[in-house]
Structure 1
């Protein structure tokens, strides 16, 4: 009979999600994981099989516990401006979109399993932003892309308008475009 596990697997997966969201898959080494997560290398391999195994567990946890609740909140928004504020809000360790964004950019283009997770989450985000509006096919996907772009910009620069301001400006522009002309 083996020794009982000396760590909380859920907490390790949550912490790994945060680490991958901040530094991306290729920016995190096994040594980084061991150091930041406080688990032994052998325990990591025994529990998750590999760095990629831990990454997939972290990505799935992130989608289930951070992205899905955010999507529900976005779906309750009165308008796109409010949805953008909710989507771009930063709490504690970052935005609920960060690991999804990193996965979409870094691994989804070459990893079908990551691509499937990212695609499902982005499709759900599109649906929440569409909120039953079928007047402009493709608009929800464009809005999702705009939100991800704003989040990316917020991660890479501190100059210019913040992502929430940019999201509100985009919402105003869309409202002006949709307003009847006098």
Structure 2
């Protein structure tokens, strides 16, 4: 009989979301995972198979805990400004890093990222009664503002230009 697991897998995956979301995949070593997550190397491999296995579990957790609720909130956004505020204030660190860091090199990550962004686009389209193409432009603009580090500065002006109801 094997030894009983001495860690909570959910807690480890949640902590990995923060670690990968702050440093990206290549910025986190196995030693970093062992140190920051409090999991022995052998336990990490036995539970997740590899660093990539833990990364995928963390990405999926991030999408379930942060991105899906965002899509739900966006679906009831009354206007483009509210949608922008929701997107620019959401915890999307791991999603954004996955999109630029891992998706180009990993088809499974690319599929997860594409599905998550499509769900956000669809929620915006539904809320604003617009096309998914315009919603995708709004989402892209909001994420761009987020990446530029100035979501508040241009949010109102941008939302006025993109609001399909104006």
TM-score range, shorter chain: over 0.9
Structure 1: how far apart are the matches of 2:108 and 2:162? 35
Which residue in 2 is equivalent to 1:170?
158
Structure 2: distance between partners of 1:168 and 1:10: 38
Secondary structure of 1:110 counterpart: coil
Higher helix share: 2
Is the counterpart of residue 119 in structure 1 residue 107 in structure 2? no
CA deviation vs aligned residue, 1:120-171 (integer Å, no higher than 9, x gap): 00000000111165655511111111122112112xxxxxxx3133222210
Query: SS of 1:78's equivalent?
Result: coil
The TM-score with structure 2 as length reference comes to 0.93
The CA RMSD over aligned residues, in Å, is: 1.7
Aligned residue number for residue 71 of structure 2 = 71
Task: Pick from 115, 124, 127 the counterpart of residue 129 of structure 1.
Answer: 124
TM-score (norm 1): 0.85
* Number of aligned residue pairs: 166
- Which residue is equivalent to 2:37? 37
Whole-Å separation in 1 of the counterparts to 2:148 and 2:127: 29
Q: Point out the more displaced range, 2-11 or 124-133.
A: 124-133
Give me the whole-angstrom Cα distance separating, in 1, the residues matched to 2:73 and 2:129. 20
Q: Pick from 135, 140, 148: which aligns with 1:153?
A: 148
Q: Which residue number in structure 2 is paired with residue 139 of structure 1?
A: 134
Q: Which runs of 5+ in 2 are unaligned?
A: none
Q: 1:33 to 1:72 in 2, by over 3 A?
A: same
Task: Please identify runs of 4+ aligned residues in structure 1 that moved more than 4 A.
Answer: 132-137
Runs of 5+ in structure 1 lacking a partner?
Answer: 90-94, 155-161
